[in-house]
């Protein structure tokens, strides 16, 4: 089983929104074979708690524009690791230090990467 078209669409929109807020190391993973709760993970990081908050706000605004609201939000108070559950997508926005420590990409390395559009990939390269 692979991620649904809807999951890929909202993952791409969330990745673009994160890129617009200068998120770093944006990656999307198809976790549909491993989890029954969601199809995709989006992982992005920010340098400061303020930037993490801005990335989270940007993702929520972009998906709200598509008619998708977060079912659950965790970690908003500290803005170190914020989890946004949109059903088909779970977005993890982490402070760069926490991202390095928890290394979600390594934990889920056996899951296929969802190809992101060139504008997001270019933003990844710029924000390193």
**For residue range 86-106, what is the model confidence (pLDDT) as tens digits?**
999 999 999 999 999 999 989
Q: What's the CA gap between 90 and 112, in Å, rounded?
A: 15
For residue 91, the enclosing domain spans: 5-126
Q: What is the pTM of this model?
A: 0.92
- pLDDT score of 52 more than 90: yes
Q: H-helix or E-strand containing 5?
A: helix 5-20
**What's the per-residue H, E or C state across the chain?**
CCCCHHHHHHHHHHHHHHHHCCCEEEEEEECCCCCCCCCEEEEEEECCHHHHHHHHHHHHHHHHHCCCCCCEEECCCCCCEEEEECCCEEEEEEEHHHHHHHCHHHHCCCCCECCCCHHHHHHHHHCC
Could you give phi then psi for residue 50, rounded to 5 degrees?
A: -65, -40
- Give me the CATH number covering residue 34: 3.30.460.10
Query: Residue 50 pLDDT > 90, yes or no?
Result: yes
- Residue 122 has a pLDDT of 77
What average pLDDT does range 25-46 have in this prediction?
Answer: 95
Could you say which DSSP state residue 113 is in?
B
pLDDT exceeds cutoff 80 at 116: yes
User: What average pLDDT is seen over the chain?
Assistant: 93
Structural domains counted in the chain? 1
Residue 116, token pair as written in the block: 């992101």
CA–CA separation, 52 vs 6, rounded Å? Answer: 25
């Amino acid at each position: 089983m692979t991620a649904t078209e809807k999951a890929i669409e909202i993952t791409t929109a969330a990745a673009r929104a994160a890129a617009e807020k200068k998120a770093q190391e944006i990656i999307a993973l198809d976790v549909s074979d491993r989890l029954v709760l969601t199809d995709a993970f989006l992982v992005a990081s920010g340098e400061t708690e303020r930037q993490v908050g801005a990335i989270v706000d940007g993702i929520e605004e972009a998906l709200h524009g598509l008619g998708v609201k977060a079912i659950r939000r965790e970690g908003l108070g500290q803005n170190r690791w914020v989890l946004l559950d949109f059903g088909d997508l779970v977005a993890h926005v982490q402070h760069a230090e926490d991202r390095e420590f928890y290394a979600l990409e390594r934990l889920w390395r056996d899951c296929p990467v969802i190809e992101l559009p060139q504008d997001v990939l270019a933003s990844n390269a710029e924000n390193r």
